[in-house]
Amino acid sequence: MLYPLGHTQHRAARAGVRVWHRRIPRVVRAAAVLGLAFLCGARTFAEDLPARGLPFTRFYSLEDVGYGPRGASLGFDRFGRVAVIHAGVYAVLNDTVWTNVAERARERVQMANVIEGADGRMYFGARASWGLAEVQGDGLIHGLPLVPEHAPDWIQSTAFSDLIASEDGVYFIGPNGVVFRRYRDGETQFYPHSRIAHAFRVGRTVYISAFEHSLEYIDVEARTLKSASGSELDRAVVSTSTPLDERRALLSLIDGRLVVFDGQRLQPWEPQLRYDLTGRISTLLRLVDGNVAVGITGRGLFLCSPDGELILKLNTPEHLGITAMANREPGVLWLATEDGIEKLLYSSALTAFGQQLGLTVGWPIIERWKGSTFVASDGKLYRSQQGAAGAPTRFELYPIQPSDGVWALAAWDARLLIAGTERVYSVEPDGSFRPIAAVKDMAHLVMFDAEHCYAIGRTETALLEWRDGAWVETGPRAAGVTYPSMVHRVKNSVWIEMGGQVGRLWLQEGRLKLDLFPNASWTKRPWVNIGAIDHLVVFSAGPGERRFFDEDKGVWCDAPRWRRLLERSPYWVARLDMDQGGTIWATHDDGVVRFTPKGDDYEIDASTLDLINDRYPALRVLPGNDVWVFASQSLYHVERRWALEGRPAFWPRVVSLVTGRGEELLTDESRAGGPIRLPFAKNNLSFRFYSGSDAGRRAPTYEYRLTENEPWTAMAGSQLSFRGLHEGDYSLQVRPEQKFASAGGMETFAFEILPPWYRTWPAYLLFGFAATLVLAGVLRWSNYLERRRNRRLEQVVRDRTRQLETTMAKLGEETRNAATLAERDRLANEIHDSVQQGLTGAILQLDTTLKLPVVSGDVRSRLNVVRNMVSYARQEVQHAVWDMESPLLEGTELVDALHNLTAFLNADAVNIEVKVEGTPVPLGRTINHNLLRVAQEATTNAFRHAKADRISIQLEYGQDSVSLKIVDDGIGFRPNEVLQDRTGHLGLRGIRTRVKRMGGRLTIDSQPQQGTSVCITVPLQAAQPCV
């Protein structure tokens, strides 16, 4: 047994009550208690009130749905998802998200209602239209009208909002008539009528109830309406109906009566008479489990069993205006109310208590006493009230409330104890309170049999015993418990959860003893939760950390069987208790796990008792296997009638398959075409799943794998996306996660991704042929490259050979130059010591002669010319030896040197003319020297040998060449004879050698007695100076 303690707000409340309590004398307080007991009277509590709270509901406002206005119809799509249908809206709930899947085109059909026919197809009704509702490539439901071209005129003014699906076809019903369409051949029959109130089905026959008309039925074989007179329905109008079975229908008449009609007789519906189900019936629905739901405007929702028992009555404000109902699975009823859509789990294993049932919840403590349920909550004592049949149990404040509040509660058989902050009271048979003992800072009352009770306080702990018809305190008191959060009775001991440690309060030889066990002795966690399996105490710190204590033997022990059983739970179990039937109830952070004995093992249910908005719940198992679940601000009761029934079967199914471009692949047409084969361009896929059931308090979570060899992977929500799937066959398997797996199945979705065109057999053949061609081309190209490489190697060999030859030539030239330089050194020394000395002596003699006064002016002038010529000859000899430029070129250009050249000739004996044409350009040193030498040699020959009187020197600068031409009017000669004669004539051969060295062209034009013309042309590129 587990007993909770309030939180900080409770202690604050106690402090306030304690101050007020101390200000009133003890005698006055006792008189007040007795007076209240007298005013309340001696009420007996013999009645047995089975507690039942409100069933679980999940409400979706119109804003949550997003599309459904008030007055919408409810239905289910082909996957079983609830649908809100109204004026072109078809909003479905996929586990947790509402989505409008109706087409959104401006000219769309405004579907008013949609049902599934016996042929498996969806049919819609709308204003002036009806037809098929099919999912197309955009993933939306499109209305495909089936109205014939020549339909009757009354069709245009009729809204077909009611639909009935039979074994033969679908009936589309409106106020002006009925249209029947047969599945087999698509035949359409029209039955005009006026002022139709309602159409209903009994067996295979559809009846029409209309204002101011007797009852009629449709004979589709005879294609006519026939009278069904002879029953009371001839004088009554039906407003709504629901089939009870294959032979009867439950009808609601416009005057408020509920009757059963079998096609002939009309009988009152017995539950209406028994439970006064009167008023305006807004909706009727027979549920799949045989129960019948009745919505009465202003009175609420009533649920009756097939036997006529009223099993549920809800008259809370949200159930007073129900406009539509829908049901497809046991325990789940969908309601359309004024403000939204509600899911009602009418057979929920957990029912809730709160303000709606008169109970303010704050760490509640629950006990059963004399057939009633008592709850100490938030410092107040509440008692259950006798309610009407099917109605949830309501609570009322107990007429007497101790001045220091009620913070602890304990009961055993006919004895009930309560405690305030400072005192323990006994509840007498007449309902009054009798003070027993004063215990400071009371926290818990724990009775371990009918005659003993522990009164546990923070300051001290007392033992109370039942003696001689009264409770008395016996034995010395023990130390209190500083912060006793939760207490658990195991046999005659009480185990206490505290921060950092746990405590055991027990009797040793009639004396109270408190043993403390620090958590640090076996775990690093600051808090340890406590539970019990019969005599075995279970300590749970965290995942993987658990200890056991044998209360019978008083020792720590190991319990491998129970350890293995608890580890099978998909949740880490915190606290647990066993009821009298052997069922183990265990709490986790978000709910309760139930271990039900089954043979030698246990069956685990981890989904039925889920909690939604509560954390860290605790359990209280009362006698008679009465199980309660509570948290700080919540209180739930386990309804064993429903808890023992089958759990919801979560069987995920694919409801949508969309490509990366938004194309829906699961259309009605594709589903009928067999396995899905997708081109490679559609290898980005998004799957959306639906659990197949709405019976859970929370939507299940899933796990998946693409192949059987892959591990299971948890999904985030109900959508799964894959990007870049390779070609091949896939078998996608999706199942509920482990905690839901025992109540569900696995969905296998097979599909194939086709390879791209370049990975198909024709492509491979084409690639092979292309590869052969490429290989042949590569071979030819390789041969070409090899040949080209050989040619390059041969060219490299030639280049290297040429370079070697050039190098050898340079080496030879350098050798010759070295020899020449050596010879020049020798000649220079010889000339210096001989020729130059002689020339220098000649110059000195000429200088001496010029100084003589006897030398006349004419002689002196000629001697100066001779002296200059001798001096020039000495310089020429020196430059010739060292291969230097002529002295005439030092510091001047070729043109100036040519002018200076004429100064050394006898100007009186010959007329020398120098002409320059073109724009002068810089020429190289060698070119200038050689041209000057050629001009010097040709001019000297004309002066000395040709006896010329006139000599012309012409220098012409062209675009591509420079030309030097020396022309004289001398005696001339034959150039070929002279050049072939190897004796003498060194001047002409020297000229030819110099021109060849310059890379130029020599032209000699001469005949005897006709003068001579010598022309040298040098390419300007060769004449440019090197930089």
Q: Which CATH superfamily is domain 57-287 in?
A: YVTN repeat-like/Quinoprotein amine dehydrogenase (2.130.10.10)
For the ranges 413-417, 493-497, 733-737, the lowest mean pLDDT is seen at 733-737
pLDDT for position 674: 66
Distance CA 866, CA 846 (A): 8
Q: Which two tokens stand for residue 975?
A: 């150039």
Taking CB atoms within 8 Å and a gap of at least 24, the contacts of 697-701 are 697/56, 697/345, 697/348, 697/350, 697/610, 697/611, 697/612, 698/610, 698/612, 699/95, 699/96, 700/95, 700/607, 700/650, 700/652, 700/736, 700/737, 700/740, 700/744, 701/736, 701/737, 701/740
pLDDT-derived band at 908 (thresholds 50, 70, 90) equals low
Average pLDDT, the chain: 86
pLDDT(388) > 60:
yes
For the ranges 311-325, 457-471, 821-835, the lowest mean pLDDT is seen at 821-835
State the DSSP H helix or E strand holding residue 562, giving kind and residue range, or none if neither: helix 560-567
pLDDT(884) > 80:
no
- The three-class DSSP label of residue 1027 is coil
pLDDT(956) > 70:
yes
Instruction: Tell me if 842 sits within 8 A of 877, measured CB to CB.
Output: no
CATH 2.60.40.10 fits 653-755, yes or no: yes
Q: Which CATH superfamily is domain 893-1023 in?
A: Histidine kinase-like ATPase, C-terminal domain (3.30.565.10)
AA identity, residue 276: D
Mean pLDDT of 427-441: 93
The radius of gyration computed from the CA coordinates of the chain, to the nearest angstrom, equals 62
Q: How do strand 676-678 and strand 747-753 relate by DSSP bridges?
A: parallel
Mean pLDDT of 159-165: 95
pLDDT for position 40: 39
pLDDT(13) > 50:
no
Mean pLDDT of 690-705: 87
pLDDT(904) > 80:
no
Mean pLDDT of 365-381: 94
pLDDT for position 612: 76
Distance CA 76, CA 114 (A): 8
pLDDT for position 982: 59
AA identity, residue 964: L
Distance CA 536, CA 556 (A): 10
pTM: 0.72
pLDDT for position 346: 92
More confident residue, 47 or 585: 585
Domain ranges of the chain: 57-287, 653-755, 893-1023
Distance CA 610, CA 348 (A): 11
Percent of all residues in the chain with a pLDDT value above 70, rounded to a whole number:
88
Q: How do residues 473-524 score in pLDDT, each as one tens digit?
A: 998 999 999 888 899 999 999 999 998 999 999 999 889 999 999 999 999 9
pLDDT-derived band at 36 (thresholds 50, 70, 90) equals very low
Mean pLDDT of 183-205: 94
pLDDT(824) > 90:
no
The phi and psi torsions of 714 (rounded to 5 degrees) equal: -70, 140
pLDDT for position 312: 94
More confident residue, 893 or 969: 969
Mean pLDDT of 887-914: 73
